Structure 1
Amino acid sequence: MSNIIGIGGSIHDFASCLLIDKQMNAIEDERITRVRHAINSSNPCQPSLQYCLNWAGLQLEDIDTIIANDDLLQVIDPHVYPDIVLVNHHLTHAYSTFFTSPFEEAAILVLDGAGSKLSGTNGDIRETTTYAYGNKNDVTVINRVFGDLKGKNYVTKSETLMSNSIGEFYRAIAENLELGWLVGPGKVMGLSSYGASFGDDRFISEMMSCIKLLPEGQFKININGEKGLIDKFFQIRQNYHKKEDPFRIDAAIAHAGQVVLEKVLFHTLDYLSTKIQTKNLCLAGGVALNSLVNGKIPFLTKFKNVHVFFAPGDSGTAIGASIWGYLNNSNQTDDLIRFHSGPFLGRPYSSDEIVTALNSIGLTYTQPVDLYHQVAHLLSRGRTVAWYQGSSEFGPRALGNRSILADPRNSLMRDHINSNIKHREWFRPLAPAVLDSTTAVYFDAHCLSHWMQFVWHVRKKFHKILPSITHVDGGARVQSVSKDENPSFYTLLENFQQITGIPILLNTSFNIKGEPIVETPYEAIHAFLESQIDVLVLGEFLVVKKFDLTFKSPI
């Protein structure tokens, strides 16, 4: 038996993964420190590392190997970790996605803001895209794209971003639209659908003028400087805001950003398909969170089988690092080594721990024998439910263990959750969770989407039936729920289907504005009490706020 720790992150999203043989436990720092993305952490990876060790009843000296992606060297003290092994940042991304896939062989594409520094440079030149080939138990890098930090943004006086980076390109769009750095790109994706629905393509050619697509999978993205994207679109946005509806202008800019991102990404995939003759593709890196483009890949490229790791951002490199450590510390074998543990990698909290938390706050609760039916009934009557079960999800998506749930038929529900519970922009879409066997009935799905990796179109006949999960462009970021991976959530969906005829629930992350997804029962209770969520389910226990029982959902 070997005990392996992988630590991950970059300058944000720090995490740890403990691998005991092939049993995986992992968590992100933010879930413990309660600081989103673990920004400005004074002790990166230490909170998550200690969490994993405590759960397993181990000490640091019980660990055989500690692996980290080499990008962490800019923020951690390597002397804190005995005999730490450093691995290329993008390689840990590649390991995280290929070795969690069902494929024996696959093309691998890693795209993010920036990865490891190019050796022999002062650190200003870094990898931004990596092409690789996975075969059996090996990963081979076949090409890379590099960027640099040249150029100054004199108009905006903003930070110089990495050139030739799809991740930094999309970040620049988010910051131009004043949507934020780490949280902004997801907002851009949602906003872009409004620009597409308006048919407003006016900024696409201007944005493409900052980009050159080159042979052998290379590309140039001019982000900084006088003719760079940042200053150019700052001035464009300012000028158009004076003349037209600012929302429509921002939606058009977001739409242009999404279209251009897709042009560059499909350019990389066209190259990759010429180098590797397979229909299988594995994606990782922060850009792989763009579920809008992910959903188009099977239809527009030669890659028909697409695997997107459930935590493709930098926190996922902790899992990739631990897998790298396992493979490099294992005896050579012809057996295929894969890790199919799924995203539920946090520690579960016992019924005793939940009851202690409930009693400490003085909440009234019940323990109904027909819990699933009662909750499904409350949902069908228009109630929002905070659903807290088992082990927490690793990664940015709530997938049925730390979720806020609602009736997708309720036309008022999206606005209610965005405005009154999440306190965020009104244009943000909300996702559906659907029984896996019925996914293709309701969505134009090429494959199952267990972890919200893909946006599929809602079939047109269901647009009016499912208004709160159907975005303005008719799309939805789908979660296909399987009984094997999440029997509790699956059972709730079955009960909701029995009552309503619809095997779908609206699913969004259980957190309130500015906070990470809840981890402990105490945090769940706090978020419940500080929000307008109606019902809290903690394991087998039910807490219901007082409301008018005669209320009926407007559907």
Structure 2
Amino acid sequence: MWILGLNTPPAGWHDTAACLIDGDGRVVAFSEQERHSRVRHAIAEEGSQPVDAVAYCLAQAGITLRDVAVVAVGWDDRQLFPGRFADDRHFLQEALGSSFDAGHVPELVRVPHHRAHAASSFYASPFTKAAVLVADGNGENESTTIWTFADGSEPVLHHSWPRTASLGYAYNAASVWLGFNHLNAGKTMGLAAYGRARGLEVDRLVKVGGGDYQLAVAPLAERPGRSTDDDLGRDYQRMLLAWRAVYSKVAGADGPTAPLERLHEDPAAVLVAYTAQRIVEDVMGELSRAAREAAGVEELCLAGGIALNCSANGQLPGPVFVPPVPHDAGVALGAAWTVRPPVRREGPISPYLGVAVGGTGDRAPEQETSGLARSEASVERITDLLLDHRVGAVAQGRAEVGPRALCHRSIIALPDTTDVHTRVNRIKDREQWRPFAGVTRPDYGSRLWERQEHLNRYMLGAARATAHADAVAPGVVHVDGTTRPQVLEGDEAPVVGAVLDRLSVLGHPAVLLNTSFNGRGEPIVNTSYDALRAFRKMDLDFLVLGDVLYEKRNR
């Protein structure tokens, strides 16, 4: 039995994705459409269906759509588009685009958005029972939910907040006020750290207590009956305008006065970013406590776009798990697992589920490689390059899923100076005030930052850096004294793991700067072709592509 999970239009209008699981709930393949189309977030437009992601998943399993028994979608489109589709065949034709096989109509299962989010986190976790907190922009009619999930039992929904009480809307409005795209919330989070570092006192625009919260922008009047897509659009625009007015009042201005590259120098911009950040931190802190109380366990899973907020995640006590795909792409996985939960779970999910270098779906390099020196990718040579303060990239094995590069599609460097921070931001054409993450081994990680049992697996929690980290890895310590660590437990990332081990043997600090391998405005590289193209375009010194090392001769 094969089950294909999707995040797809018409409801899934960004971060479209496909996931294929077998009859035991084992994930065979998972890929986001942006990695194939090279259009970041695969925002809803002509051709944004996850057709390439679907094709990859099917090819990885060696099957066709005729072998798929069930298609599970992480939205209930009937709530938002009543009467739009005459039947399941009509829906699948739109959802699958050119992938649709008119001769075979698999069973269609519509999974409510937040339930799919919750399933994607719990079943990816090592827990057998957990409280699950989902927070995002909106689902069909909700923006925040609390659940209990347990193996062998139906999930229990304890509490739901309407989409007009959305933390995502509040944070999006701050991002737009700052001049960012509403999908660039990570920039807002990075800027907010300057407010924390400066000890700013901010207006608390939310009241929390009793397992509930009330935002400064009062929820709009709820409409009777089911909401439609038109209602959602109107609500979003009204809430966005209301929140922007609040931030303008807080800042005493309608927008920043500094350009994007110098926002950290603009007191009003820092104030707005930190004000929005505190809203999220206050609510997530209160609701995590309430979720644990409702479930009767300390184990907590997070999902939804808000779960990408590493700063807020890192402040939560106790065991906290966030999957590598907590954003909307993850509902493809959660929808599939709602149909068939995994029979056997041997620990947290591996994030390496995408296209493999040299494997199914890989697009081989076609560019001329003149000017590049080619050799075997030996750990000795790569380590020597890094110790010589060269900056390189790695594209090896199956691509990781989610927005964090986890050493299969990464840019790496030695973080022993702040100069490397400046250079890598320049290489990626990013604002200089944006931070970088560090990667290390478990034993050395305990010397660099606070322990995070699960969050550091996928780089999804900010941790307080130690004085030792300040001394040996200043390139990955943000202005507020935190970093977003990744810890490699075994050989899941062979090149980076081997380099870390060799650094240790040579007596050097076993830590590297790790950031996503992509240029400005682009998704993380996917195929060999993408990797070599990006390497030539960017001011990088070397590239590990599979088992081959490329170096630029003029370096």
TM (norm. structure 2) is: 0.85
Q: CA deviation at 1:472?
A: 0.7
Residue deviations 1:391-440 (CA, integer Å, cap 9, x gap): 00110010000000001103201111112x11111111000011123211
State the one-letter code of the partner of 2:143.
T
Quote the residue 2:14 is aligned against: 12
Superposed counterparts of 1:294-305, under 5 Å: 294-298=313-317, 304-305=318-319
Q: Which amino acid aligns with 1:182?
A: L
**Deviation at residue 251 of structure 1 after TM alignment:** 1.2
Can you give the 5+ residue segments of structure 2 that lack an aligned partner in the other structure?
A: 97-104, 219-237
Structure-2 residue corresponding to 1:342? 350
Aligned partners of 1:281 and 1:509: how far apart in 2? 27
Number of the residue aligned with 1:178: 179
Deviation (angstroms), 1:63: 0.5
Q: Distance in 2 between matches of 1:348 and 1:456?
A: 31
Residue 451 of structure 1 corresponds to 458
Q: Within 5 A, what are the aligned runs for 1:210-229? A: 211-213=206-208, 215-220=210-215, 222=217, 224=238, 228-229=242-243
What is the identity, as a one-letter code, of the residue corresponding to 2:189? M
The secondary structure found in structure 1 opposite 2:417 is coil
**How many Å apart are 1:200 and its aligned residue?**
2.0
Contact residue 169 and residue 221 of structure 1 kept, 8 A:
no
Question: How far did 1:365 drift?
Answer: 3.9
Q: 1:321 to 1:352 in 2, by over 3 A?
A: closer
Show the 5 A alignment for 1:259-270. 259-270=278-289
Post-superposition CA distance 1:330-387 (Å, at most 9, x none)? 9xxxx7656744100013122899996267544644333x611111110111111111
Structure 2 residue aligned with 1:553 = none
Amino acid at match of 1:433: V
Q: Which amino acid aligns with 1:440?
A: S
Question: How many angstroms does 1:130 deviate by?
Answer: 1.0
Matched, 1:422 2:428: yes
* Structure 2 residue 324 is the aligned partner of structure 1 residue 310: yes
Provide the secondary structure at the position in 1 that maps to 2:475.
coil
Q: 1:235 to 1:529 in 2, by over 3 A?
A: same
1:71-470 equivalent positions in 2, closer than 5 A: 71=76, 78-80=91-93, 82=105, 83-116=107-140, 126-147=141-162, 162-183=163-184, 185-201=185-201, 203-205=202-204, 208=205, 211-213=206-208, 215-220=210-215, 222=217, 224=238, 228-237=242-251, 239=253, 247-298=266-317, 304-327=318-341, 337=345, 340-350=348-358, 357=365, 360-362=368-370, 364-368=372-376, 371-419=378-426, 421-448=427-454, 449-470=456-477
Which of 45, 57, 64 is matched with 1:59 structurally?
A: 64
Deviation digits for residues 127-150 of structure 1, max 9, x if unmatched? 111110011233423333333xxx
C-alpha deviations, 1:424-470, integer Å up to 9, x for none? 11111000011123211111224251110111111123313211101
Do the aligned partners of 2:145 and 2:161 also contact (CA within 8 Å) in 1?
no
Counterpart contact for 1:385–1:534, Cα < 8 Å? yes
User: How far, CA to CA, are the matches of 1:493 and 1:439 in structure 2?
Assistant: 11
Tell which deviates more after alignment, 37-46 or 317-326. 37-46
Distance 1:253 1:382 in 2: 37
Residues 546 and 174 of structure 1, relative CA distance in 2, 3 Å threshold: same
Residues 85, 470 of structure 1: CA spacing in aligned structure 2 closer, same or farther, 3 A cutoff? same
Q: Is the alpha carbon distance of 1:94 and 1:517 closer, same or farther for their aligned partners in structure 2, counting shifts above 3 Å? A: same
SS at match of 1:523: helix
| More displaced 10-residue stretch of structure 1: 385-394 or 464-473 | 464-473
Q: Structure 2 vs 1, CA of residues 41 and 233 (structure 1 numbering), >3 Å: closer, same or farther? A: same
1:87-120 per-position Cα deviation (integer Å, ceiling 9, x unaligned): 111111111111111111111101110012xxxx
Equivalenced residues, count: 505
Q: Does 1:25 align with 2:24?
A: no
1:27-46 alignment, distance < 5 Å: 27-43=31-47, 44-46=49-51
Q: In structure 2, what residue type is equivalent to 1:128?
A: S
Q: Secondary structure at the match of 1:379?
A: helix
- The one-character-per-residue Cα deviations of 1:244-289 (angstroms, maximum 9, x if unpaired) are 9962221122112111211111121232233222110011111111
Task: Give the counterpart letter for 2:91 in structure 1.
Answer: P
**Which is worse superposed, 167-176 or 243-252?**
243-252
Which residue identity does 2:365 align to in structure 1? A
Superimposed CA distance per residue, residues 42-61 of structure 1 (whole angstroms, 9 cap, x where no aligned partner): 24222211121123221111
Following the alignment from structure 1 to structure 2, what is the Cα–Cα distance between the partners of residues 519 and 172?
Answer: 31
Whether the aligned pair in 1 keeps the contact of 2:302 and 2:321 (CA below 8 Å) is: yes
The answer to whether residue 480 in structure 2 is matched with residue 476 in structure 1 is no
| Counterpart amino acid of residue 357 in structure 2 | Y
- Indicate yes or no: 2:541 matched with 1:534: yes
Q: Please tell me the residue identity of whatever aligns with 1:461.
A: H
Identify if the C-alpha distance between structure 1 residues 146 and 351 changes in structure 2 by more than 3 Å, giving closer, same or farther: closer
Match of 2:231 in 1: none
Once the two structures are overlaid, the 10-residue window that deviates more, 336-345 or 316-325, is: 336-345
Counterpart CA distance in 2 for 1:245 and 1:214 is 32
Contact (CA 8 Å) 1:452, 1:477: kept in 2 or not? yes
| CA distances 1:300-325 after superposition (whole Å, capped 9, x unpaired) | xxxx1111111100001111112112
Deviates more, 1:310-319 or 1:172-181: 172-181
Contact 2:353 2:399 in 1 (8 A): yes
* Runs of 5+ unmatched residues, structure 1: 117-125, 148-161, 299-303, 549-555
Q: 3-state DSSP class of the match of 2:416? A: coil
- The share of aligned pairs that are identical, in percent, is 30
| Aligned counterparts of 2:4 and 2:240: Cα–Cα separation in 1 | 45
| Distance (Å, rounded) in 2 between the aligned partners of 1:226 and 1:5 | 34
- Mapped partners of 1:135, 1:225: distance in 2: 35
Q: Could you tell me whether the CA contact under 8 Å between 2:22 and 2:28 is conserved in 1? A: yes
Alpha-carbon contact 1:431-1:506 (below 8 Å) kept:
yes
Choose 5-14 or 133-142, whichever is displaced more. 133-142
**Partner residue, 1:552:** none
SS in 2 for 1:508: strand
| Mean Cα deviation higher: 68-77 or 256-265 | 68-77
Question: Structure 1: which amino acid aligns with 2:538?
Answer: S
3-state SS of paired residue (1:171): helix
Contact 1:11 1:72 in 2 (8 A): no
**Distance in 2 between the 1:26 and 1:529 partners?**
28
2:340 corresponds to which letter in structure 1? Y
- Structure-2 separation of matches of 1:374 and 1:245: 38
Provide the C-alpha distance between the structure 2 equivalents of 1:199 and 1:215, rounded to a whole number of angstroms. Answer: 28
1:154 is matched with none
Counterpart in the other structure of 1:156: none
Alpha-carbon distance between aligned partners in 2 of 1:359 and 1:33, rounded to the nearest angstrom:
19
